[in-house]
Homo-oligomer: A and B are copies of this chain.
Amino acid sequence: MSDPTMESLRNRLRAFVAERDWDQFHAPKSLAMSITIEAAELAEHFQWLRTGAPEELAPGQTAKVGEEMADVLLYLIRLADKLDIDLLAAADRKLDLNAIKYPVEKARGRSTKYDQL
């Protein structure tokens, strides 16, 4: 089998949803809400840690973290499919925009938001 790609995951998700007749639940508003829910489940692993560095995670917890990150990604892919958005292209363009919002000379070493730089 070949390595998974964004496209293969989108296709697996389509089949997964069709088999279960779940498309009726996948209003974009509900999918957007699902992304916040899965993001919070991811955050829960870091809630009481100092910084969440790998060495602070308990053994086996990184795998759990990966599963939560996977859930966020899967809902992102599903929402992108419903709205006909090319996620990878959108992320590539967003990096171009971020480079303009955060010019190296102004942003270096600072965590200040772009509108206050």
Contacts and interface: CB of A to CB of B under 8 A. Distances in A.
A106 to B, nearest CB: 9
A102 B36 CA distance: 21
B27 A91 contact: no
Nearest to A24: B109
Contact of A43 (B36, B53, B62, B85): B36
Number of copies: 4
Given A35-B39, A35-B42, A88-B4, A29 B49 contact: yes
Contacts of A45: 32
Contacts of A69: 76, 79-80, 85, 87, 90
B83 A22 contact: no
Contact of A89 (B4, B32, B91): B4
Contacts of A32: 39, 42-43, 45-46, 52
A91 B104 CA distance: 33
Given A32-B42, A36-B36, 5 more contacts: A5-B88, A22-B109, A22-B111, A28-B51, A34-B47
